[in-house]
Amino acid sequence: MQHPVFLNRKSVSVYFGLWALIMGVHFSVFYFIYFFSIEVALADSLVFNGLFSLVGISMWYIVRYSIPDQKNSWNVVFNHLAFLTLTLAVWNGISYTILSTVFSSNKVYMDTLMLSIPNKIISGIIFYIVIALVYYLFIYYIKIQEKVNVESRLREVLKETELNMLKSQINPHFLFNSLNSISSLTITNPEKARDMVIKLSDFLRYSVSHNATSFTTLETEMANIQRYLEIEKVRFGEKLLFSFNLQGSCRNHQIPVMLLQPLFENAIKHGVYESTEQVSIEMDCEYTAGYLEIRLVNDFDPNAHARKGTGIGLNNIRERLRLLYKNDKLLRTTVEGTRFFVFLSLPNTEKVKNDE
């Protein structure tokens, strides 16, 4: 986060303009009320206020790394008290040394300088508190702006995602091929055709009854994936093999609805479609340290002509994960020989809500 004083020329002008105003008031008190000479009044005002204006700039780094909602409140208080004590000691020490050296022969001013130390300490505390509050207000303002921007972007992407989900969920080719398979089965195996109609109906109902912001359990999501793969298996037969290994601890983990569907579609599209050999799709998961770790792997033929994608798939998933979990490193892919791996790390939804 950029230093608020140095955001632009205007912020620099406002900061030092306010200190110039304070110096003017300070000078006026010493010159018109205490009747010190112009040199004494100007020097006293310039040294004390000028030095604290530099202290005020350095205070940003204490405030920046002492946010109440990120650290223990006692640590925050201790940090500020320690820095305030050090600031007052150094500020008064340097100011007194400079002024006493320059005006050592002016006994009246030296007596006033010594007597004014308690007042200087009080004014220093007030300056410190005001500057710290201004910095905290700036930090909270930036956070609010970032949250508004993220939410705005989230709404835009979710609208786009919902359209993309509909395109990927009710894939015209998938629906067309499934209906063709059902048509053939009505002649050769009516019982199996009826079972496939039920599975297709349940799959489509699940697909269109949720929006992009909904969450469901991994077990529920995988039940729909199972229906999808069973429908595809009618077409591909023994060419398609699939297996799931879901540990009990991860079955109830909440995940975004239809998050995994594009991954299995990619496995079918780039694995089963293009291969002349038997293709296996495997998925396993485990729940560790508050994260659901999912691994999806499928065989593919590296020599086969790759199908051109629509750009929805992995990029869409990455964007959803980044916006929902505020993390762009939850999805990884890798290739090992003739196997394509996808790794997902999904935080607990309660953790996500707390972070928000």
The 10s digit of each residue's pLDDT in 316-343 is 788 888 878 888 889 999 999 889 999 9
φ, ψ (nearest 5 deg) of residue 184: -70, -40
List Cα–Cα distances, 97 to 51, 83, 91, 122, in angstroms.
Answer: 13, 21, 10, 19
- The pLDDT of residue 75 is 83
List Cα–Cα distances, 184 to 95, 192, 240, 242, in angstroms.
Answer: 95, 10, 19, 24
Give 15's pLDDT tier (boundaries 50, 70, 90): very high
Residue spans of beta strands (DSSP E) within 181-325: 215-217, 240-246, 254-256, 279-288, 291-299
pLDDT in tens, 36-93: 999 999 999 999 999 999 999 999 999 988 877 655 778 888 889 999 999 999 999 9
Q: How far is CA 112 from the centre of its chain?
A: 55
- The pLDDT of residue 162 is 62
Burial class (CB in 10 A: 0-12, 13-18, 19+), 246: middle
Asked if residue 291 lies in contact with residue 346, where contact means CB atoms within 8 angstroms, the answer is: yes
* 3-state class (DSSP) for residue 342: strand
The domain segmentation of the chain, as residue ranges, is 4-149, 209-355
> Per the CATH hierarchy, to which homologous superfamily does domain 209-355 belong?
Histidine kinase-like ATPase, C-terminal domain (3.30.565.10)
pLDDT in tens, 249-305: 888 899 988 889 889 988 888 888 777 788 999 999 998 888 899 999 998 887 766
